[in-house]
Amino acid sequence: MVYSLAYVRSRVLTIEAVKVRFAPSPTGYLHVGGARTALFNWLFARKHGGAFILRIEDTDRSRHVADSLEKILDDMRWLGLHWDEGPEVGGESAPYFQSERLDIYTRHIDKLLESGRAYFALETPEELSAMRDAANAQKQTFKYRRPDPLPTVEEGRAAKAAGREVTVRFAMPENDMIVQDEVLGEVRIPREELEDFVIQKRDGWPTYHFACVVDDELMGVTHVLRGQEHLMNTPKHVAMQQAMGFRTPIYAHLSIIFNMNGSKMSKRDKEKALAKGLVPPEIDVHDFRVAGYLPEALLNFISLLGWSPGEDREQMTLEETVEAFDLSRLGSANAKFDRDKLLSFNTDWCAKLSPERLLAALKDFASVSGSKLADFDDETLAYLLRINAGYRTFRDIEAKCAFLWAVDDAIEYDAKAVRKVLQKNEGAGFSMLEHLVELLANHESWESASLEQFLTTLCEEKGVKLGAVAQPLRVALTGTTISPPIYDTLVLLGREKTLARIQRILTLKETIAQG
RNA sequence: GGCCCCAUCGUCUAGUGGCCUAGGACACUGGCUUUUCAUGCCAGUAACACGGGUUCGAGUCCCGUUGGGGUCACCA
């Protein structure tokens, strides 16, 4: 096997310092697939004591979305994927916004032009698309054919000066390209498949390919871990590196993440579900955050997509993952995103994280989701966390506690619950409530322990199970048969509201019975 | 369609020629615990896509078939 000089050199270089980057484009929220890419890069940097760079690829101003950068940075922070160089923290290779590096790209394009490895292309977009259509009409794939003779640099510059909008294309070498990949091995792409692609658009900005290659070199990137959808870009990048005398980083193309039905996970899934009136699936990191997931669980789960620590290990902390992370354990087969398994992971993380950590996470959830939970103080929130043990996401707590901020007179009663718990056995549930409203009004203390004592004694006297008391109460207080443990439910709601709600359902007894 | 990548339970995966009558996890099914929901606990069902080789021996190596995916922009 023959390795290129650049390849060998980059190999040696990595012994000294690992440098990786995550390079999102500010076109929206951080996608869960992007988060996985970011995570793997981050893990690799941490594992080898290297640097993790965050670079913003914003060369296409038309696709720029306002607030996107802030959103991406915020979600990266939420995940705990802090960057060593990039926006807000700076670094030796600043700036980290490609939109601020135009002069650098222009300089390198000029050099390529001078050396003859790039040339001005005069076709207009209309001409190109016409050629493309013509090729398609004949069922052929359009390949850009290098003009002969080529316009000279002077001619190109003159055309540009004359107001003509020209592009610059990279002159691909005449040989097949070989990509060395850590997970796929050696990939050979036939020369016929490669064409002279555009490196400078007519607006003067570089294309992704060019900016990416220049920045990786200038920023000292040693390893490129990116999605497999980039595999066919890599030969182009390697060719440019060779033309410019750059090092070739070590590549590792990650398997792609799909939905359970095999489709690509995309924002479109959300739109489609919404159109059908369904609950939109979580696609962006932010969606999971708002849905009440823990970053610990999400990270742990996505780390296992396309990678495995082996030894049947699954649930592990980020630190353990860093320790176990290795390129050799990256998988090549695409993975499907199993939401059930994520939910299960989240449940387990909710059960094992410290109360302090859970409280902080719950507060974050409350603030980003706009939950009424945000109105409670820390003590109450910690209490809620404790009594709801067994919840799977914070949304479960939110749902189970919704009765707390419901308006007494606006509670809606679940028909099935009313029938089963209140009307059955000649209205035994209603009778129980009638009995309770009196007793509770006069009960001296309103603390959990005291109420427990009171209710269990009551059950013994009446010879019934606790359910015979608790369930009617739940329906009266929440409208459903679901609530936190009954004593806590009473305490949280308070005596006043408790009595008001019992009285209301008793008043509505006949109306409800008909409904 | 051309080129490229991939292929172990429904899903994520372990497996790097003998330790595999293929292991773990999620899901599923059954049971137990429980004041509701949930959690928890126990048990069970379930896979090497197919066909050829190579080898004493193949889930593991090679070839083909089939299937899935990626990519073919002046987007990234």
Strand B closer than 7 A to residue A308 Cβ: yes
CA of A267 to C1' of B16 (A): 38
Which two structure tokens, joined as six digits, stand for A388? 């709801």
Whether ipTM exceeds 0.95: yes
d(CA A478, CA A507): 16
CB proximity list for A258: less than 8 A, separation 6 or greater: A264, A265, A334, A335, A336, A337
Strand B closer than 7 A to residue A69 Cβ: no
> pLDDT tens digits for A391-411?
999 999 999 999 999 999 999
Residue A16 confidence (pLDDT) = 63
CA of A221 to C1' of B16 (A): 30
> pLDDT tens digits for A142-169?
999 999 999 999 999 999 999 999 999 9
Distance of CA A492 to the CA centre of its chain: 35
Which positions in strand B are less than 7 Å from the protein's CB atoms?
Answer: 1-8, 10-16, 23-27, 35-40, 68-76
Confidence tier at A513 by pLDDT (50, 70, 90): low
Residue A514 confidence (pLDDT) = 62
d(CA A395, CA A381): 13
> pLDDT tens digits for A354-365?
999 999 999 999
Q: In what order do the strands lie in the sheet with A223-227?
A: A185-189, A177-181, A250-254, A223-227
CB within 7 A of strand B (chain A, 92-121)? none
Please compute the mean of the pLDDT values over residues A95-113 and round it to a whole number: 98
Which two structure tokens, joined as six digits, stand for A100? 């601020």
Strand B closer than 7 A to residue A8 Cβ: no
